[in-house]
Amino acid sequence: MNPVSKLIHRFIQPPYIDKWTGVHMAAGAFICKVAMWLGSSAFEAVLWVLIIGLAWEVMEYFVEGTSPYGGTDNWLKNTLSDLVVETGLAIWIVI
């Protein structure tokens, strides 16, 4: 396996990607489009996605804790992955 494939393979498996990753992507796209429909600039739409995503992850931490992820390390990897996919999709929408 070449180095690029190894890197991609590492980040497309748990704890980075889970059954909720698609939901985060859909929510990011929805929030971005609604923000744009309401008159936000491209930057503001992406910022709204990031702000709401961060708020969601903070709420998730206080409600669920880290135990569903198998510990703090896996929780952090999953949280960062969720924020990257939803914000990345929002950036893709606005460009």
Neighbours of 71 (CB within 10 A): 10
| Domain of residue 83, residue span | 3-94
Q: Could you tell me the pLDDT band of residue 3, with boundaries at 50, 70 and 90?
A: confident
Question: pLDDT digit string (tens) for 26-75?
Answer: 999 999 999 999 999 999 999 999 999 999 999 999 999 999 888 999 99
pLDDT for res 30: 98
Question: pLDDT digit string (tens) for 21-40?
Answer: 889 999 999 999 999 999 99
Number of structural domains in the chain: 1
Amino acid (1-letter code) at residue 18: D
